[in-house]
Amino acid sequence: MLGQIDRLGRIWGMYTMAFGVFVVLLWLAEYVGLIGQRGIAWTFMILTIGIYATIGIMSRTGNLDEYYVAGRAVPGIFNGMATASDWMSAASYISLAGTLYVLGMEGLSYTVGWTGGYVLLAMFLAPYIRKLGAYTIPDFVGVRYPGTFPRVVAVIAAIIVSGTYLVAQVSGVGIIMSRFLGLDFRIACFVGLLGILVCSMLGGMKAVTWTQVAQYIILIVAFILPTVFVSAKITGVPIPQLMYGQALTDVAATEAALGIDKGYFTPFNDWTQSQFLALIICLMCGTAGLPHVIVRFYTTPNVRETRFSVGWALFFIGLMYITIPAYAAFARWEVLHNVVGQAIDSLPSWVDAWTKTGLLTLNDANGNGLVEYAEFGLNSDLVVLAMPEIAGLPYVVAGLVAAGGLAAALSTADGLLMVVATAISHDIYFKLINKSASDRVRLTISRVMLVTVAAIAAWVASLRLSIISDIVAWAFSLAAASFFPILVMGIFWKRINTAGAITGMAFGLLTTLGYIIWSSVTGQTIGGILPNAAGIFGMPLNFLLTIVISLATAPPKQEIQALVERLRFPKHLHDAAAPATGD
Amino acid sequence: MSPKDAERYEQHFRANLGLSLKLLLIWALVSVGAGAAYLWLDQFQILTGFPLGYYMGAQGAQITFVILIFIYAFRMRTIDQKYGVDE
């Protein structure tokens, strides 16, 4: 085991260095004028997708265990890295710094909520779900709560949550490719689809795992490097996570001097404090209940390794998440100092390029020919991708950031695609329709589903429906109000039965959906709670109903209670070794 | 299952729960707790000029979370060994 980690560590260390050398060479080529902006963008896209495709093809497999759960042989630290890029989506990479840029202090509810969920996952879900050793989350639900109905509800919920999320990743790929390669958005969506399929189709989870590791390294380098440059430029010290306190102080002073009344980190000027707290809670519980994150913890060798793996996952996610607010603060600084107050005619070319994508609006409302703060409308999807250009960094940095965004979107899309395709091929076809299907048939169905689901996702993304980003924002509340309570209680309380779980899930989901629809349509709220935090109403109701109905009906069968007990221990007192269960 | 085995399982599970609940308390304090006391915390300035409330949401909470999970993983390994259910 240790020798294996050593060997893998050397391979990935060399990979990281090779990528670094490549970026420096490309920068030199740009410096001496050998390569233009389009050339840099194409080089990055072809090289990185080429790397993913190579890994994907090398990891091809015909073994079901390898296809669904990477043979349960991924060491904790690498599984952590794969989980980190599986988790960090186009939304984290492209939009989160932008959300912080726009919302200011309230945006911190995302950085706290999306990381805090891992503590719940580590202590209350991942080790126990690994012990069961199934393939999917509906598998877990189906075993713990017998009957066809709970499994079907879990399959539908997994497909809806992961499916909409998948569409959002494909549009992320579309935005990046259309801006940097100059492709049409719709064509870019389908090119992105090919990029996703080469990573997953031949090797399933095994291929997805190792491409996700490769993607993590690229996305973290691509995110931290420009922040380090900007930090060195503004503060003189290249440690952005420590130094952006200075930028915050300066931003506050500059805003006061410019007379901007909605200050960057003034607390609770966009949201109420109760919305802030409610969103933190929903994001934490929702994260712990998301199928594509939980399945990653099926792929470690044993329970002990799973516990450490969650720690590594959050460590690698944390590197990114403590840098995101720094990125946002420096972007704010750059805009206040380098854009506001400039003559509109003399703005650099990136303004024009981004205005064309519709993400940047600039109108000289008072007609004085100068950019005023209020006239410069940055969409939250644009801040990260445009910052290298706003800060006047070499174009190679902009290309690198785009390649990182692509890695973030592709890695999450792969994980989601696996969940949706497996839900159909394993949970519906194998478990409910044809229990005697051979391994070969199951693998073929999985691959066909992978291609079908990916094609549907690309088609939906190319329609550019605005409802998609709303649904992604609601997904956490929906997961928190449906899956989270019944998964945790199913592990910790033997008395919880199928009737209770079904009632809890149904009413938790209906209450949350009802509030989302009511609030979105009428524009009203209860206590300032926005639709994205609606789970704060549904989740407690789910807990309460699950308990009350379970206690009012007969306890689960003896064998289910014995199963719950077995989940709690990595190995049993008289067993020779931990049973590698699964089917 | 012999009564002696059952008792050992019971003790192991209690040790697990006790540890989890302690760590969960710290988890709640640095996330929801710090959010609730945001305005009070913000009057303090730390490091290079961060208001403390802002710092907790941007870095303090995340760093604490990572430490909590590793404490859990290490302590659980010891607990598993103590009760003989380690892999």
- pLDDT reported for residue A389: 87
Q: Report, as an integer, the average pLDDT of A370-386.
A: 84
Q: What is the pLDDT of residues A73-115, one digit of tens each?
A: 999 999 999 999 999 988 888 889 988 998 889 999 999 999 9
| Amino acid letter, residue A28 | L
Please check the confidence at residue A5 and state whether its pLDDT lies above 60: yes
Domain extents in chain B:
18-82
The model carries a pTM of: 0.94
Number of domains in chain A: 1
* C-alpha–C-alpha distance, residues A502 and A546, integer Å: 8
Q: What is the pLDDT of residues A432-447, one digit of tens each?
A: 898 999 999 999 999 9
Enumerate the β-bridge partners of residue A378.
Answer: A360
Q: Report, as an integer, the average pLDDT of A293-317.
A: 95
Number of H-type helices and E-type strands within chain B: 5, 2
Q: Which residues of chain B lie closer than 8 angstroms to A280, CB-CB?
A: 31-32, 35
Kindly give, in sequence order, each residue whose CB lies less than 8 Å from that of residue B28, ignoring residues fewer than 6 positions away. none
What is the pLDDT confidence band of residue A467, given thresholds at 50, 70 and 90? Answer: confident
Does A571 reach chain B within 8 Å, measured CB to CB? Answer: yes
By C-alpha distance, which of A134, A136, A143 is closest to A564? Answer: A143
Give the mutation candidate from B1, B59, B75, B82 for the A interface (greatest A CB count, under 10 A). B59
Nearest Cα of chain A lies from the Cα of B15 at a distance, in angstroms, of 12
Residue A517 within any structural domain of the chain: no
- pLDDT reported for residue A211: 95
Q: What is the pLDDT of residues A192-210, one digit of tens each?
A: 888 888 888 889 999 999 9
Does B76 reach chain A within 8 Å, measured CB to CB? Answer: yes
Q: Do B80 and A570 touch (CB under 8 A)?
A: yes
Nearest Cα of chain B lies from the Cα of A332 at a distance, in angstroms, of 16
Q: Which residues of chain A lie closer than 8 angstroms to B85, CB-CB?
A: 569-573
Give the mutation candidate from B41, B54, B63 for the A interface (greatest A CB count, under 10 A). B54
CATH code for the domain of A360: 1.20.1730.10
Q: At what angle do helices B3-28 and A108-120 cross, to 10 degrees?
A: 170
Q: Which residues of chain A lie closer than 8 angstroms to B35, CB-CB?
A: 109, 112, 273, 276-277, 280
The partner residue sitting opposite A572, judged by closest CB among B13, B16, B85, is B85
Q: Do B66 and A315 touch (CB under 8 A)?
A: yes
Residue A470 within any structural domain of the chain: no
| Amino acid letter, residue A343 | A
Kindly state the tokens that stand for B21.
Answer: 């609940």
Q: What is the pLDDT of residues B20-77, one digit of tens each?
A: 999 999 999 999 999 999 999 989 998 888 999 999 999 999 999 999 999 999 999 9
Q: What is the pLDDT of residues A407-460, one digit of tens each?
A: 999 999 999 999 999 999 999 999 889 899 999 999 999 999 999 999 999 999
Q: What is the pLDDT of residues A12-40, one digit of tens each?
A: 999 999 999 999 999 999 999 999 889 99
Q: At what angle do helices A383-390 and A349-357 cross, to 10 degrees?
A: 170
Residue A239's domain comprises 2-464
Write down the mean pLDDT value for chain A.
90
Does A315 reach chain B within 8 Å, measured CB to CB? Answer: yes
Does A384 reach chain B within 8 Å, measured CB to CB? Answer: no
Residue A537 within any structural domain of the chain: no
Query: For the residues of A119-176, what is the DSSP string, one character each?
Result: HHIIIIIHHHHHHHT-SSHHHHHHHHS-SHHHHHHHHHHHHHHHHHHHHHHHHHHHHH
| Amino acid letter, residue A64 | L
Instruction: Give the containing element (helix H, strand E) for B38.
Output: helix B38-41
Q: Report, as an integer, the average pLDDT of A315-326.
A: 95
Q: Do B49 and A248 touch (CB under 8 A)?
A: yes
Residue A380 within any structural domain of the chain: yes
Q: Do B85 and A322 touch (CB under 8 A)?
A: no
- pLDDT reported for residue A1: 61
Which residues 196-235 in chain A show a CB within 8 A of chain B?
235
Q: Does the structure's ipTM exceed the value 0.85? A: yes
Nearest Cα of chain B lies from the Cα of A70 at a distance, in angstroms, of 20
Nearest Cα of chain A lies from the Cα of B65 at a distance, in angstroms, of 6
What is the pLDDT confidence band of residue A575, given thresholds at 50, 70 and 90? Answer: low
Please check the confidence at residue A358 and state whether its pLDDT lies above 70: yes
